[in-house]
Amino acid sequence: MPVVTEKANLNTKTANLVQKAKENKKVVYHTKDLNLWYGEGHALKNINLAINENEVTAIIGPSGCGKSTYIKTLNRMVELVPSVKISGEILYRERNILDKSFKVEDLRTSVGMVFQKPNPFPKSIYENVAYGPKIHGIRDKKTLDEIVEKSLRGAAIWDEVKDRLNQNAYGLSGGQQQRLCIARCLAIEPDVILMDEPTSALDPISTLKVEELVQELKEEFSIIIVTHNMQQAARISDKTAFFLNGEVIEFAETDKIFSTPSDKRTEDYITGRFG
């Protein structure tokens, strides 16, 4: 066989292997025929999505299309709204979290959530991060110190706060507060981090820091991020789901969504024709 052909074959072979490795990623969340109503309002319609581990999955779509509702069903926060009715299945690591027998506490130890507005507790920086581990029974000061440092480092904020760990978290800037909230998530050693427009209240530099952080964190965690910023989705995510009026219109590799979307409505949205 000529060398060139052999090399081409080898390249194809490598490409196939990489593709296979990608396909072999484990599914962390599998949503099947999920419907959700707020009273009469049908907010989520037949959502079917399989979300892979160690990827960043972006949820995009215009305001009111169900992005926050969807992400809040993934950690069963949405059921705090009394009028909510849900049908379908959400498998988290193959267990249906909507099942009556499923304990919501099991999710609290594996799924962290970061909100649009940073929401630190009115406590010291240290206590904000140590809070979760303490609830889970860790009392040893040295162990807590280690967790606090590791989590703050993981959230790329350690150097900025290491000399004032006992000061109130409210004294931090918005961007620092949001990274502190991410550190608080990391402290429980989560499996998944859900983020609902985590940078929409931040300045451009803090936004960039959080975006860089998200990309680092996916090596260890699975991240689902709602964003109305399409450039952000394009920059940081592996897969993108486009929501419209409570439906998933398209779900694919982010590159594909932003270069050759299959649905006219996706194209209209990403080219700024509405939303």
Interface residue list for Mg ion (CB under 5 A):
68
Binding status of residue 64 toward ligand ADP by CB under 6 A: yes
How far CA 61 is from CA of 137, 182, 188, 267, in Å, comes to: 40, 24, 30, 12
Q: Minimum distance from CB of 107 to ligand ADP (Å)?
A: 19
Q: What is the DSSP letter of 89?
A: E
Residues in the chain: 275
User: Which of 37, 38, 102, 121 touches ligand ADP (CB under 6 A)?
Assistant: 38
- Of 6, 41, 145, 173, the residue at the interface with ligand ADP (CB under 6 A) is 41
User: What minimum distance in Å lies between the beta carbon of 125 and ligand ADP?
Assistant: 30
Tell the smallest beta-carbon distance from residue 66 to ligand ADP (Å): 4
Query: In angstroms, what is the minimal distance from the CB of 248 to Mg ion?
Result: 16
Q: Which is nearer to ligand ADP, 71 or 161 (CB)?
A: 71
CB 202 within 8 A of CB 168: no
- CB atoms < 10 A from the CB of 166, how many? 10
Residue 194: both structure tokens together: 């859900």
CA distances from 186 to 18, 35, 37, 220 (A): 29, 30, 32, 10
Contact between 171 and ligand ADP (CB under 6 A)? no
**Among 28, 34, 65, 248, interactor with ligand ADP by CB under 6 A:** 65
SS3 category, 44:
strand
Residue tagged 């620092």 (tokens): 176
Stretch that binds ligand ADP, among 58-66, 120-128, 156-164, 203-211 (CB under 6 A): 58-66
Query: Closest by alpha carbon to 78, among 194, 248, 233, 227?
Result: 194
Binding to ligand ADP (CB under 6 A) within 71-110 occurs at 81
Dist. CA 225–CA 150, nearest whole Å: 23
What does 69 bind: Mg ion, ligand ADP, none (CB cut-off 5 to 8 Å by kind)? ligand ADP
* Beta carbon of residue 169, minimum distance to ligand ADP (angstroms, whole number): 26
Applying CB under 6 A, the residues found at the interface with ligand ADP are: 38, 41, 43, 61, 63-69, 81
